[in-house]
Amino acid sequence: MADFLMPSLGADMETGKLVQWLVKAGDRVKSGDVVAVVETHKGAIDVEIFLDGVISNLAALDQEVPVGTVLATVQQPGEVAQTVAPAAPAVVAALVPATAAASPAAAGLAANVGRMRISPAARRRAQQLGVDVATLAGTGEGGAICLRDVEATAARQPTAPAQGSEPHRGFDPAQMRLAIAAAMGRSKREIPHYYLSDSIDFTAAAQWLAAWNAGQPPEQRLLAAVLLLKACAKALQAYPQFNGFYRDGGFHAGQGLHIGWAIALRGGGLIAPAIHHVDRLSLPQLMAAMRELVQRARAGGLRSSELGDPSITVTNLGERGAESVLGVIYPPQVAIIGFGRVQQRPWVLDGQLAVREVLSVSLAADHRVTDGHLGGQLLAAINEALQHPDTL
């Protein structure tokens, strides 16, 4: 049996409230299935499971529990189902009133009140699953109701709509602001930041983008942000030391290029869910993924994997009018890349003064993992990638 735990949805999450089960005990689940909804300061998050098997022992709803709390168990393929052993005679006797147990007719009385015999674990489980114990026939010693009776009955019940109260899909701006402050305060205390910045001639990329969009319908046009993300992914492939996590006193490389894209939420607040495997997506695929992610983030429909596994964050404040940005690393990540707005500037090109489209880029990185020499090479790689947008 494997445990399904309350996931960590970022460094700013300590607890979560399980508000909805989308499966019932006895259902077969597979890796990637959305099985529950958890409420945090970021709103309601669809929680995926990354186990295959039969789910059981579903935790009670509407309780605030710490990250890492067991929410359910999964019997994986090839495992023998674990059942509760029949109650020992002494335990069964204990469920019968003491006066009855002391009389010669105790066995007869036990038969008459057998429906009332239920172990504490089975009673709790029945409450969680909404099973009426009065309808159960116990299979334990002397007809006692045990855990397997409750779960077997729950598994036979028709599938009901999602269990639990309707989740609140919005977020609490005040709570989110407190959580962001706590995470960023921790970052500045614990992570030895260093900062680098550069200016990039974005003219070639802007011209390529304009030519591409000229032949596309509005819904298929690309934003400059897509080129920035792909350029970062290409550079990170060459410098993977910036793509990963600092945990347990050391660096752990990310298992894929899962770039957290910083999204400003309406009403205030910020969230940076992951776009997975950015390096594997074409520019149109990446544009579609970004658009869909932003829509779900603002509507409150993110998944736990999108919040739990970004291996680096990219923020683009140029669209908000900022000339540049110096980010704060989101722990346990080890770097954040920031872009400012594209603006026309005087630029020396081949010894001649020209007006070019110029973009600022910055890097904040963890000195425990890398240093300025490697950081400078990463920024140079991003610059180089943007000079050849047709290769992205």
314 & 348 share domain: yes
Residues 19 and 154: their CA atoms lie apart, in Å, by: 19
Go through 87-101 and write b for each residue having 16 or more CB atoms within 10 A of its CB, e for each that does not: beeeebbebbeeebe
Residue 167 in domain: no
Lowest pLDDT segment from 70-79, 86-95, 303-312: 86-95
36 & 93 share domain: no
Go through 217-250 and write b for each residue having 16 or more CB atoms within 10 A of its CB, e for each that does not: eeeeebbbbbbbbbbbbbbbeebebbbbbbeeee
Residue 292 in domain: yes
11 & 121 share domain: no
Residue range 318-354, pLDDT digits in tens = 878 889 999 999 999 999 999 999 999 999 998 999 9
Domain range enclosing 145: 89-156
Instruction: For residue 137, give the amino acid letter.
Output: A
Average pLDDT over residues 31-55: 88
Residue 164 in domain: no
Residue range 313-323, pLDDT digits in tens = 999 998 788 89
Average pLDDT over residues 5-15: 82
State the CATH number of the domain containing residue 8. 2.40.50.100
The pLDDT assigned to 113 comes to 35
Residue 61 in domain: yes
Eight-state DSSP code of residue 387: T
184 & 152 share domain: no
56 & 205 share domain: no
Structure tokens at 225: 């942000």
Residues 327 and 56: their CA atoms lie apart, in Å, by: 43
Of the pLDDT bands very low, low, confident and very high (cuts 50, 70, 90), residue 40 is confident
- If one counts the domains in the chain, the total is 3
The pLDDT assigned to 99 comes to 34
Residue range 185-235, pLDDT digits in tens = 999 999 999 999 999 999 999 999 999 999 889 889 999 999 999 999 999
Angle at 164 between CA 163 and CA 168, to 5 degrees: 125
Residue range 131-146, pLDDT digits in tens = 777 778 788 777 788 8
Of the pLDDT bands very low, low, confident and very high (cuts 50, 70, 90), residue 128 is low
State the CATH number of the domain containing residue 272. 3.30.559.10
20 & 94 share domain: no
3-state secondary structure of 183: helix
64 & 94 share domain: no
The pLDDT assigned to 262 comes to 93
For the chain, where are the E strands, in sequence order?
2-5, 15-21, 28-29, 34-40, 43-48, 53-56, 64-66, 70-75, 193-201, 244-247, 250-253, 259-261, 263-264, 270-271, 274-275, 312-316, 335-349, 352-366
In angstroms, the Cα distances linking 76 to 34, 51, 68, 327 are: 17, 8, 20, 43
| Other residues' Cβ atoms within 10 Å of the Cβ of residue 264 | 16
269 & 384 share domain: yes
pTM value?
0.72
Which are the contacts of 67, defined by CB distance < 8 A and separation ≥ 6? 5, 6, 7, 8, 13, 14, 15, 16
8 & 71 share domain: yes
290 & 236 share domain: yes
The pLDDT assigned to 133 comes to 73
Which are the contacts of 280, defined by CB distance < 8 A and separation ≥ 6? none
DSSP assignment of 240-305: GGGSEEEETTEEEE-SS--EEE-EEPTTS-EE-PEETTGGGS-HHHHHHHHHHHHHHHHHT--BHH
The pLDDT assigned to 76 comes to 86
Please give the helix or strand (H or E) that residue 233 lies within, else none. helix 224-238
Residues 229 and 224: their CA atoms lie apart, in Å, by: 9
**What share of the chain in percent tops pLDDT 90?**
54
